[in-house]
Amino acid sequence: EDQVTQSPEALRLQEGESSSLNCSYTVSGLRGLFWYRQDPGKGPEFLFTLYSAGEEKEKERLKATLTKKESFLHITAPKPEDSATYLCAVGYSGTYKYIFGTGTRLKVLA
Amino acid sequence: EAQVTQNPRYLITVTGKKLTVTCSQNMNHEYMSWYRQDPGLGLRQIYYSMNVEVTDKGDVPEGYKVSRKEKRNFPLILESPSPNQTSLYFCASSSGIGYTFGSGTRLTVV
């Protein structure tokens, strides 16, 4: 069965304490892996798309990487404003069908 | 401003009373999609559309209908809502990379 699993479910960091979030997937025919950020009461906000193993993307304190079975979202020296739920999703080749993981709730303490 | 607009933001209705949630995007995106978000289950895709008059089922299409008669609009129709359709609904559109999400519609069916 195709699925996307994110870990940990929740993470508390001190400001400046770097860490990584994990997204593992089992999908036949991957079109792309997507990372989103969601703030409470709002719709998800697109961060990155990764298409092939070995690819990396960066944006400010965030860096996403992709292997054949998982993706990591590395957060370097996080700030309180990075607190949010981070979602990953996989898209199927040839369609716009998506599966989302259940997310990692990140809390960065000042 | 580039955006996806959903209406209404909040809706309380009774079992069996047909309703429509509207969605409109001003970015000329080809792809549009509807999701529902439930605690512990994450975001699940209901339907998606790859172009005008082209729609397909996501993971949880039962009890929902969609239509794509114009590129900018993608309404979600609940012909006979039931309490298990109480959820937070998001519409999203994409040019082919990541999705831009609307602000959400919180639906309660009593």
**How far is A15 from chain B, CA to nearest CA, in Å?**
27
Chain B residues with beta carbon closer than 8 angstroms to that of A97: 45, 48, 56, 58-59
Under the banding of pLDDT at 50, 70 and 90, the label for residue A1 is confident
Question: A96, A100, A102: best mutation site toward chain B, by most B Cβ within 10 Å?
Answer: A96
What are the tens digits of pLDDT across the range A15-33? 999 999 999 999 888 889 9
> In the structure, what pLDDT confidence band is assigned to residue B60 with cuts at 50, 70 and 90?
very high
pLDDT digits (tens, 9 = 90+) for A39-61: 998 999 999 999 999 999 999 99
| Cβ–Cβ gap A96/B48 under 8 Å | yes
Task: Please state the rounded mean pLDDT for residues A81-96.
Answer: 91
Residues from chain A that touch B90, judged by Cβ atoms under 8 A, are 43-44
pLDDT at residue A27, as a whole number: 84
Given a cut of 90, whether residue B99 has pLDDT beyond it is yes
Confidence class of residue A92 from pLDDT cuts 50, 70 and 90? confident
How far apart are the C-alpha atoms of A64 and A47, rounded to whole Å? 9
User: What residues in chain A have their Cβ under 8 A from chain B's Cβ atoms?
Assistant: 34, 36, 41-49, 87, 89, 95-103
**B39-46: average pLDDT:** 93
Q: Share the mean pLDDT of chain B.
A: 96
Chain A residue with Cα closest to B92:
A43
Contacts of A53 (CB under 8 A, 6+ apart): A66, A67, A68
B52: distance to nearest CA of chain A, Å? 14
Beta strands in chain B (DSSP E): 4-7, 10-13, 19-25, 31-38, 42-51, 54-57, 65-66, 76-78, 87-94, 100-101, 105-109
The kind and range of the H/E element at A54 are none
Q: How does strand A30-38 pair with strand A62-66?
A: unpaired
Residue B69 has pLDDT above 80, yes or no: yes
State which residue of chain A sits closest to B6, comparing Cα positions.
A43
